[in-house]
Structure 1
Amino acid sequence: MRFYSKKGIITGFLLWGAVAFLIGSFLFLPGGPEGKGEIIAAVLVCGLTSSFIIWCWFGTYYEINGNQLKVVGGPFRWKIDIMTIKSIRKTRNPLSSPALSLNRLEVLYGKWSTMLISPKNEEQFCEALRKINSKIEINL
């Protein structure tokens, strides 16, 4: 079962603002790159960075397969054994994570590990996890 990330206004403004800034700085700033080498370097930096941000925006989701929770944030992937999840609680922690909204869930698993995620339907997501591991403490 796949759950896509909730997309928040603040996070969207920051990420799309960064893309607009990168493209705008390349296209519209006076005294831009001169010569083929500088132009190629500028296109690569702006293009690759913008592509990475867009990949993260459209490629962030959470998938439950058997006893595993697969967390995908663009090119990054994590696998969490659902049986090791101890608790899930709401948070607005702004740390970098595979969550596209500041309305997040903090998943505590293993001995000290945490993962911040933001599924669109938090209740359905938590219930799907609880069907597999009924010991998960959920605090929404």
Structure 2
Amino acid sequence: MIYRSKVDRYYKRFLMIIILILALATFWPLFLEGGNILEVIVVLGCIFGAITAFLLWCTLSIKYVFRQEDLLVSGGPFRSRIPYQSITKAAPTTAIYTGYRVMSAREGLEIFYTTAAFGSVKISPEEPERFIDELKKRCPHMQVEA
């Protein structure tokens, strides 16, 4: 079963601001430097395009997959396999700026597990109630906070 990440308005605005700042930082040298404008536009356009594509890939490809033995949390090139037996607790969270997170919303769930380098992962499934129900089926030993 696959759950997509919720993308809220706050995160969309945040991403747009980051892309605008990146565009300004990338193309500002065009106004300061002389030389062949076409070459500069092509090189900077490729740099801007590659970084923007990477940001969008990491954001828009976030998904949470319930597999046979583990929960796969992925976004762009980042992947975490969380064995069900290592999951200890699931709790709501709004702390989006700290810890290991693969989410694109201000509100989400924090999954605590014993094999984590940081102790937990923060996620934001589109349907958190259904996600928690599915997680309870696979991890009956897990604590769930409201």
TM-score (norm 1): 0.86
2:78 to 63, 76, 79: 76
Name which of structure 1's ranges 13-22 and 118-127 shifts more when overlaid on structure 2.
13-22
> Counterparts of 1:53-92 in structure 2 under 5 Å?
53-92=55-94
**Distance verdict in 2 for CA 1:32–1:97, change over 3 Å:** farther
SS of equivalent residue, structure 2 residue 89: strand
- CA displacement at 1:102 relative to structure 2: 1.0
1:121 to 124, 127, 136: 127
Instruction: Structure 2 unaligned segments of length 5 or more: list them.
Output: none
> Counterparts of 1:1-40 in structure 2 under 5 Å?
1-23=1-23, 31=31, 34-35=35-36, 38-40=40-42
Instruction: Work out the CA distance in 2 between the residues paired with 1:8 and 1:32.
Output: 37
**Distance verdict in 2 for CA 1:27–1:41, change over 3 Å:** closer
**Distance verdict in 2 for CA 1:23–1:90, change over 3 Å:** same
Name the amino acid aligned to 1:119. Answer: P
**Distance verdict in 2 for CA 1:49–1:32, change over 3 Å:** farther
- CA displacement at 1:132 relative to structure 2: 1.2
**Distance verdict in 2 for CA 1:118–1:32, change over 3 Å:** farther
Q: Percent identity?
A: 22
Residues 78-136 of structure 1 deviation map (CA, whole Å, 9 limit, x = unaligned):
11001110000011112262100010111100166200000011111111111111011
1:134 to 119, 127, 140: 140
**Counterpart residue number, 1:106:** 110
SS of equivalent residue, structure 1 residue 124: helix
Instruction: Structure 1 unaligned segments of length 5 or more: list them.
Output: none
- CA displacement at 1:74 relative to structure 2: 1.5
Name which of structure 1's ranges 116-125 and 43-52 shifts more when overlaid on structure 2.
43-52
